[in-house]
Amino acid sequence: MFEAFQVLTLLLVAVALASVLAHAMELPGKLRLAKEEYLAVQPIYYPGFTVAGGVGEAGGLAATFILTILWAGSPGFWLVFCAFLAMLVMHALYWILTHPVNNFWLKDSDLSRFGVGFFSFGARDEESAQDWRKLRDRWEYSHVARAFFAMLAFLLLAIAYVVR
């Protein structure tokens, strides 16, 4: 059962990694888009990336935390603990940098009631007054940073499983 939970944890972290890595890989092409094109493209990510992010990030964070507790005192504990910290940083970067900008991209989109509530959480009015390029760069580069921490978490978990 423990081995199955390890695989599930790695799978959830892989889903989180796939989501943010896809965003990071789009960066060079999206930086070439004009404002109108960029604003037209941004809403296509929802709800797909929202579901994947919710499952992978929230699930991966929770599973890695539980795995950290289960590994206490065993070989590889510090690797799993550092993977949890990497997931925690990735998640924090979303709420601090990415999420407030999501509300700006989606302000004219027809969202479900849940979507409206989720994306309005933590939104600030001054976001709409900023230059769109600053918001674009914040959103795009926050995903690059998040991809780094997701990759780190994934690698640390994989190494911990081999060490164990």
DSSP conformation letters of 119-141:
HHTT--GGGGGS-HHHHHHHHHH
Contact (CB, 8 A) for 117 and 50: no
Q: Is 17 exposed, middle or buried (0-12, 13-18, 19+ CB in 10 A)?
A: buried
- Give the pLDDT confidence score for residue 115 in this predicted structure: 47
Question: Closest by alpha carbon to 123, among 144, 108, 107?
Answer: 107
- Give the pLDDT confidence score for residue 1 in this predicted structure: 86
DSSP line for 35-98: HHHHHHHGGGGTTHHHHHHIIIIIHHHHHHHHHHHHTTTSTTHHHHHHHHHHHHHHHHHIIIII
Contact (CB, 8 A) for 61 and 88: yes
Contact (CB, 8 A) for 147 and 73: no
- Give the pLDDT confidence score for residue 2 in this predicted structure: 86
Give the structural domain span for 48: 2-163
Residues across the chain: 164
Question: Closest by alpha carbon to 90, among 41, 135, 154?
Answer: 154
- Give the pLDDT confidence score for residue 109 in this predicted structure: 54
Number of domains in the chain: 1
Cβ-Cβ contacts under 8 Å for 68 (sequence gap 6 or more): 77, 80, 81, 83, 84
pTM: 0.84
Cα separation, 13 vs 9, whole angstroms: 6
Stretches in the chain below the pLDDT threshold 50? 114-117, 126, 129
